[in-house]
Amino acid sequence: MPCRASVAAMFSIPTIDRELIAKYNLAGPRYTSYPTALQFSASVDQGELLADSLAENGPLSLYVHLPFCESLCWFCACTTVITNNRDRADDYLDYLELELRLYRAHMRPGRFGGAFCILVVDPRVFLTFAQLQRLMAMLRANFTFAPNAELSIELDPRTLDEAKVALLAESGFNRASFGVQDVNPDVQRAVHRIQPSSMNRECIGWIRKYGIRSLNVDLIYGLPLQTVASFGATLDEVISYQPDRLAVFSYAHVPWVAPAQKILERQGKLPGPDEKLSMLELIIARLTDAGYVFIGMDHFAKADDSLAVAQREGKLQRNFQGYSTHAGLEICAFGMSSISQTSNSYRQNFKDLEVYQSRLAAGQLPIERGYRLSADDKLRRTLIMRLMCDFAIDFAAMSHLLNVDFKQYFRAELLGLQDMQADGLLLVDDGHLEVTAAGRLLIRNIAMRFDAHWKPAEKRHAKTI
Ligand code: SF4
């Protein structure tokens, strides 16, 4: 159970203090993993990474990365392949099948039966009917899905029709997510993604009709031509969809990672930091007024959604998919650029499609790089994840969880929080650390104080707000 302080912290609605945000808003990680992918290295011993996988037992979570999109949204920083040619997905599925087969040799025998399985297929349902059926058959041939498994899929209303939603529901998908970003047609033109609201409503109608029980919608603020007023209209429209969860991301302008963002820069004025903060203020006010709970970072959920319930019960987790209700599961990820996670390590596949395929054609798993966690990394990983989920730390409970004297082990870090305490981001007493309402939006910056790898000069991340 979470401590009293953490319950108070998780129910508080974040407040925006512009001076504090200006002072602390440095570039920093999103902590979907610790250490972050920046620490992954090609020189890590792949045999050891695979031995870590073989040592795992019990439930697991599956993730499949499908890279194909019909056209590029200019804000996008995902690993994509832009094509209209559906046949390319057939080839890709051939290689995925090979990857699954090769991977089986690195799983404990007998682990396939009864594995608790969460499947996330990403992104966008580019696949045809037959290709989707083949993918699901392939996965079910290699893994046993638990009866209560969560099967999530990223959809794109622009490529969806009713028959495909029916097939998804029949294949067992019970969670769906799609991006709206902004409903204003001018903004949509500026980001090269035309998606009328009527299309969103139709798509949601099918999702509900076929019994896909949970819907998440993604929005982005900070895009060209957006204003506080225009984003207010987007929020009103999206609240009327009644999604179970909402992720409202701050646009991360990282053209050195996503070159298409250079085109986006030329499409109109990007809102400045002050206007973005006003948008954030509006987002928090409108969504909490509409009954959504602020989960953390950019995530909101209905009070009875499993994310909000897990947070109230101190069981919320964080992984590569963001906030999650499933604790400590091994993540087996397939497809180009995908990242797998075991208790001891991370490993990532090649991001380049040709290299990914050529490795598999040569009979090798397409692992490009990885990271093995030290004992210290594991302690910090648990601490940072609890901080990101609970917004509070009970020192006695954390000592018990980590099997170290928490105050002693993290003495230097706790002493280093004095400026944040003085500025009202944190309350620290002899037994607890609690993030205040003013500190909630700066949770990444607070977590960074416990990150042994982060360097203040690190510029490769986007700003935290
Ligand atoms: S935002 Fe989604 S649909 Fe658009 S290019 Fe990126 S992955 Fe494809």
- Tell me: pLDDT of 195 over 70: yes
Task: Determine whether the shortest distance from the Cβ of 123 to ligand 1 is under 6 A.
Answer: yes
Mean pLDDT score across all residues of the chain = 89
Task: Determine whether the shortest distance from the Cβ of 76 to ligand 1 is under 6 A.
Answer: yes
Q: Can you tell me which atom of ligand 1 is nearest the CA of 76? A: 6
Task: Determine whether the shortest distance from the Cβ of 73 to ligand 1 is under 6 A.
Answer: yes
CA nearest neighbour of 374 among 352, 348, 343: 343
pLDDT of the residue at 11: 58
> What is the assigned CATH class of domain 4-31+375-448?
mainly alpha
Q: What is the DSSP letter of 32?
A: S
pLDDT of the residue at 304: 95
- pLDDT tens readout for residues 365-401: 999 999 999 999 999 999 999 999 999 999 999 999 9
Strand partners, 69: 82
pLDDT of the residue at 24: 87
Task: Determine whether the shortest distance from the Cβ of 260 to ligand 1 is under 6 A.
Answer: no
Strand partners, 64: 121, 334
Higher model confidence: residue 117 or residue 210?
Answer: 210
Q: Can you tell me which atom of ligand 1 is nearest the CA of 158? A: 3
| 8 Å CB contact between 438 and 281 | no
Task: Determine whether the shortest distance from the Cβ of 81 to ligand 1 is under 6 A.
Answer: no
pLDDT mean over 183-190: 96
Rg (CA), the chain: 22
Q: Give the distance (Å) from ligand 1 centre to CA of residue 316.
A: 28
Alpha helices in 127-272 (DSSP H): 129-142, 162-170, 185-191, 197-209, 228-241, 261-265
- Tell me: pLDDT of 171 over 50: yes
pLDDT of the residue at 12: 72
Domains in the chain: boundaries: 4-31+375-448, 39-332
pLDDT of the residue at 215: 96
Higher model confidence: residue 108 or residue 270?
Answer: 270
Name the closest-CA residue to atom 1, ligand 1: 76
Q: For the ranges 74-78, 277-281, 447-451, which has the lowest average pLDDT? A: 74-78
- Tell me: pLDDT of 1 over 60: no
Task: Determine whether the shortest distance from the Cβ of 153 to ligand 1 is under 6 A.
Answer: no
| 8 Å CB contact between 25 and 413 | no
- Which of 65-74, 246-255, 396-405 ranks highest by mean pLDDT? 396-405
Residue written as token pair 């999702």: 207
User: Percentage of residues in the chain with pLDDT exceeding 70?
Assistant: 92
Phi first, then psi: give them for residue 372, nearest 5 degrees.
-105, 130
pLDDT of the residue at 54: 87
Higher model confidence: residue 270 or residue 463?
Answer: 270
- pLDDT tens readout for residues 339-369: 999 999 999 999 999 999 999 999 999 999 9
Higher model confidence: residue 225 or residue 142?
Answer: 225
- The CA distance from 159 to 229, in Å, is 29
Higher model confidence: residue 279 or residue 1?
Answer: 279
Q: Can you tell me which atom of ligand 1 is nearest the CA of 123? A: 7
- Tell me: pLDDT of 108 over 60: yes
Q: Judge whether 4-31+375-448 and 39-332 match in fold.
A: no
pLDDT of the residue at 326: 75
Q: Using pLDDT thresholds of 50, 70 and 90, give the confidence band for residue 406.
A: very high
- Tell me: pLDDT of 128 over 90: no
Task: Determine whether the shortest distance from the Cβ of 254 to ligand 1 is under 6 A.
Answer: no
C-alpha angle 64/345/400, rounded to 5°? 115
Name the closest-CA residue to atom 7, ligand 1: 78
Token readout for 395 is 């020192």
- Tell me: pLDDT of 74 over 70: yes
Question: Got the DSSP string for 291-334?
Answer: TEEEEETTEEEETTSHHHHHHHTT--EEETTEEES--S-EEEEE
User: Percentage of residues in the chain with pLDDT exceeding 90?
Assistant: 64
Residue written as token pair 């599961």: 329
- Tell me: pLDDT of 4 over 90: no
Token readout for 166 is 């029916």
- Tell me: pLDDT of 112 over 60: no
- pLDDT tens readout for residues 146-161: 888 888 898 999 988 9
- pLDDT tens readout for residues 18-67: 889 888 877 788 899 999 999 999 999 999 999 998 888 878 888 899 99
Q: Give the distance (Å) from ligand 1 centre to CA of residue 77.
A: 8
pLDDT of the residue at 462: 63
CA nearest neighbour of 252 among 16, 28, 62, 93: 28
**Superfamily the domain 39-332 falls into:** tm_1862 like domain (3.80.30.20)
Strand, coil or helix: what is 456?
A: coil
Task: Determine whether the shortest distance from the Cβ of 160 to ligand 1 is under 6 A.
Answer: no
- pLDDT tens readout for residues 296-335: 989 999 999 999 999 998 889 888 878 888 766 788 999 9
Q: How many CA atoms lie within 13 A of 12 on its CB side?
A: 21
Q: Give the distance (Å) from ligand 1 centre to CA of residue 63.
A: 17
Q: Can you tell me which atom of ligand 1 is nearest the CA of 154? A: 2
- Tell me: pLDDT of 116 over 70: no
Name the closest-CA residue to atom 3, ligand 1: 69
Pocket test for ligand 1, best of 156, 177, 218 (most atoms within 8 A of CB): 156
